[in-house]
Amino acid sequence: MSRTRPQLDYLPAEESFHDPLRADAHQPDKARCVVIPFGLEASVSYGSGTASGPSAILAASHQLELYDEELRREAYLDYGVAAIREPEIARPIEPALAQLSGLVEQVLEAGRFPIVLGGEHSLTAGAIRPFAASYKDLVVLQFDAHADLRDGYLGEKYSHAAAMRRVLDHSHVELVSVGIRAISKEEAEFADAHTNRVHIYWGKDQARWDIEAIAARLRGRPIYVSFDIDGLDGAVMPATGTPTPGGLSYLHALAILKRAAEVGTIVGADLVELAPIPNFHIYDYTAAALAYKIMNYALSGTGPR
């Protein structure tokens, strides 16, 4: 028996993702990509400000070129993009995660591609639920400075510092983490004890990463991308709660995302932890550009190889 759901509450073109004048701007119900703004901010432990991440990314997205010079076309025309209005986020965190899970599920059930804009990383625990339920061979591709494998932090089971531990609560889900360079003893021991499910590509080794070794873990599988913006180097992306040196360049991250989309199927994504710095809109723009590239690789990609 199917449940009756309310219609998705779409943003009008002038507040949505991308140029309000793009060709599909007034057909949100036909778009395959659905942006879900969700500025959850419940457990940040250092800097704050991620609540305004989604609105900053949406605003910056209006400055993006529609033409993707790498794919050599206005890639959005291949799939269409819509954004829903950010809901009033429930409190405390567990109802908020259930709320997000319901929105993601609604998009996924319609055969569409959800991309969640955060908000803090703890939201992944909610966003992942419909994917974990739908895909028995799901792999999560995490970009992050932090392992996020703590079993709770500061008394909060659903802390951002526990985001991937909560993902791994789904016992069939595998994790590929890239860019990790801040990890506790407890997390390192957990990772060492679960090498069958947790595959870490350390930030310190990035000059020697074999992208085909990463791709081999993703090949033929549904991939959920969880992109913590602090996976990028702190110099590239200081607009986040815990900017950390030794991270990825923007282009290195894109190369991995592109290869992931070629060998597997990116089925959904989140982009989290942007904490905008007033007047430094390059960081908002970087996040918006990254969101568009994720969409393009996932939905307008170059196909399996």
Mask 226-245, x = binds Mn ion (CB under 5 A)? --x-----------------
**Residue whose CB is nearest to Mn ion in the complex, by number:** 228
Nearer to Mn ion, 22 or 146 (CB): 146
DSSP per position, the chain: -PPP-PPP-BPPGGGSSS-TTSTTTT-GGG-SEEEEEE---S---S---GGGHHHHHHHHHTTS-SSBTTTTB-GGGGT-EEEBPPPPPPSSHHHHHHHHHHHHHHHHHTT-EEEEEES-GGGHHHHHHHHHHH-TT-EEEEE-SB----S-BTTBTT-GGGHHHHHTTSTT-EEEEEEE-B--HHHHHHHHHTTTTEEEEEGGGGGG--HHHHHHTTTTSEEEEEEEGGGB-TTT---BSS--SS-B-HHHHHHHHHHHHHHSEEEEEEEE-B---TT-HHHHHHHHHHHHHHHHHHHS-----
**Smallest separation (angstroms) from Mn ion to the CB of 41:** 14
Nearer to Mn ion, 68 or 228 (CB): 228
| 187 is an interface residue for Mn ion by CB under 5 A | no
**Smallest separation (angstroms) from Mn ion to the CB of 232:** 12
- Cα separation, 201 vs 210, in Å, equals 10
**Smallest separation (angstroms) from Mn ion to the CB of 273:** 6
Residue of 86, 148, 174, 284 interacting with Mn ion (CB under 5 A)? 148
**Smallest separation (angstroms) from Mn ion to the CB of 227:** 9
Stretch that binds Mn ion, among 95-103, 107-115, 148-156, 192-200 (CB under 5 A): 148-156
Residue of 24, 144, 233, 270 interacting with Mn ion (CB under 5 A)? 144
Mask 97-136, x = binds Mn ion (CB under 5 A)? ------------------------x---------------
Nearer to Mn ion, 203 or 301 (CB): 203
Which residues pair with residue 34 across a beta bridge? 82, 114
Mask 190-229, x = binds Mn ion (CB under 5 A)? --------------------------------------x-
- Cα separation, 69 vs 59, in Å, equals 22
**Smallest separation (angstroms) from Mn ion to the CB of 275:** 13
Neighbours of 157 (CB within 10 A): 17
**Smallest separation (angstroms) from Mn ion to the CB of 130:** 20
- Cα separation, 65 vs 112, in Å, equals 23
**Smallest separation (angstroms) from Mn ion to the CB of 118:** 10
Nearer to Mn ion, 68 or 230 (CB): 230
Nearer to Mn ion, 10 or 153 (CB): 153
Residues that contact Mn ion, how many (by CB under 5 A): 5
What residues line the site for Mn ion (CB under 5 A)? 121, 144, 146, 148, 228
